[in-house]
Amino acid sequence: MTKKPTLDDLTDRLVAFRDERDWKKFHSLKNLLLSLSLEAAELLELAQWQSDEELESRLSDPKVQERLREECADIFLYLLLIAERVGFDLSQAGADKIERNDAKYPVEKARGTAKKYTEL
Amino acid sequence: MTKKPTLDDLTDRLVAFRDERDWKKFHSLKNLLLSLSLEAAELLELAQWQSDEELESRLSDPKVQERLREECADIFLYLLLIAERVGFDLSQAGADKIERNDAKYPVEKARGTAKKYTEL
Amino acid sequence: MTKKPTLDDLTDRLVAFRDERDWKKFHSLKNLLLSLSLEAAELLELAQWQSDEELESRLSDPKVQERLREECADIFLYLLLIAERVGFDLSQAGADKIERNDAKYPVEKARGTAKKYTEL
Amino acid sequence: MTKKPTLDDLTDRLVAFRDERDWKKFHSLKNLLLSLSLEAAELLELAQWQSDEELESRLSDPKVQERLREECADIFLYLLLIAERVGFDLSQAGADKIERNDAKYPVEKARGTAKKYTEL
């Protein structure tokens, strides 16, 4: 049984992929941030003109699941390239952010409301 | 030494965080896709008005590294919530996408050029 | 009574504003496109976490109207700067696009459906 | 000689176009904001992987000018629909914003720098 790839595995593969094609010159940090933004829009496009309910109901279609999965993968790969460039571990950054949010949105104040932490 | 958190660890924590605050009702798939897009813009804002070189040179500033790290974490957490909602593993999706890109951009054709695969 | 400003009036004022501050060097086309995208996200942020109905109901609040008006103005000003840089008239471009949409989405086929023209 | 279309002309045509196709039901304010954001990304895509200079040099190509013109038109039409829905005049909003920017970025402080007004 194949182990799930770790973030370091994926980052190593991305760097190899990039360097085999001599693409590092295109991967300025600004270009990586820009491309991630474009992929986020391709993901959001799946919700265009649809109500919350319509989108949820389309989730039973394997084609729609695959589109979502693929667009999320694109964004994820850019995150890994950015993390590699800047020099941080994405999963540790995620863990730290969950803790910061825990403090910003204490359960007793934030429960049930979408208010921003500045309004709590 | 603390092990690095796995994607499943982070997803479990995100779900717990969401449910403690009774926030699931806000987390329609459409709203998650929309919020991810907004975070991608906050990340891109770090490049506003700056040339590639200016942004690269600011990377030596720990405050700038921290901003990048935190905005990437925000996007990453939304990807995990979306993956949880739709029902796929983000790292496997990433691995599959690298393979698909490998086929779409064969080294001998793609080397050194930013052309889209449809133009190769 | 003051006449409404024309797009040419606004463009002249934008160019003067920019040149008084010696800002043309920041206004590469790439930077203008990037900044417009950021403003579009600031506009979209007004809808974050809200259902269609919640957002519509907040329209009675003059503060919300003002936020929407201001964010739209930001985007509009970038459009005018881009049009000035590339060399086209934005209102004529708009008129031409309405005609092109009219042909892409004939009433008898498009009525009542949000399907893309490729699926009609 | 045909007069250039005014913003009111364009808005009237957009409303007629929408109503002939019974599309008002899709045009919740949230959906209009979302769609404008997607169009902004399509515009930004024209700069993907390109340096400022590469993009500027491509401006001599009529096909590139036409793509830019068309994507700007798409964004412009959504701005008009949003202005119609919320109840403001886009050109007056633009004029007011130029004045507000004039105060936020006084020439003597802002000249030559891209610093945000909060840092001036």
What average pLDDT does this structure show over D39-56?
Answer: 97
- Residue A104 has φ and ψ, to the nearest 5°, of -70, -30
Cβ contact, residue pair D36, C50, below 8 Å: no
Q: What is the mean pLDDT of chain A?
A: 95
Closest C-alpha to A99, from B75, B80, B16, B44 = B16
Closest-approach residue (CA) in chain A for B49:
A30
The tens-digit pLDDT sequence of chain B (120 residues) is 567 899 999 999 999 999 999 999 999 999 999 999 999 999 999 999 999 999 999 999 999 999 999 999 999 999 999 999 999 999 999 999 999 999 999 999 889 888 887 887
CA distance D51 to D44: 13
Where do we find the tokens 């008009």? D80
pTM higher than 0.90: yes
Chains touching B by CB (3 or more pairs below 8 Å): A, C, D
pLDDT given for residue C8 in this prediction: 97
- ipTM value > 0.90: yes
Q: Does B15 touch chain A (CB under 8 A)?
A: no
Half-sphere exposure at residue D50, Cβ-oriented, CA atoms within 13 angstroms = 21
Q: Does D120 touch chain C (CB under 8 A)?
A: no
CA distance D19 to A46: 24
**Residues within 8 A of B (CB atoms), A 18-57 only:** 20-23, 26, 28-31, 33-34, 36-37, 39-41, 43-44, 46-47, 50-52, 55-56
pLDDT given for residue A116 in this prediction: 85
The tens-digit pLDDT sequence of chain C (120 residues) is 567 899 999 999 999 999 999 999 999 999 999 999 999 999 999 999 999 999 999 999 999 999 999 999 999 999 999 999 999 999 999 999 999 999 999 999 889 888 887 887
In B, which residues are within 8 Å of C42 by CB distance?
41
- 3-state SS record for chain C: CCCCCCHHHHHHHHHHHHHHCCCHHHCCHHHHHHHHHHHHHHHHHHHCCCCHHHHHHHHHCHHHHHHHHHHHHHHHHHHHHHHHHHCCCHHHHHHHHHHHHHHHCCHHHHCCCCCCHHHC
Going from the C-alpha of B70 to that of each of A118, B66, C100, the distances in angstroms are 18, 6, 43
More reliable by pLDDT, B116 or D17: D17
Chains touching D by CB (3 or more pairs below 8 Å): A, B, C
Chains touching A by CB (3 or more pairs below 8 Å): B, C, D
Which structure tokens are listed for C48? 């974050």
In C, which residues are within 8 Å of B41 by CB distance?
37-38, 40-42
In A, which residues are within 8 Å of B73 by CB distance?
90, 93-94, 96-97
More reliable by pLDDT, A19 or C117: A19
Where do we find the tokens 């942004």? B55
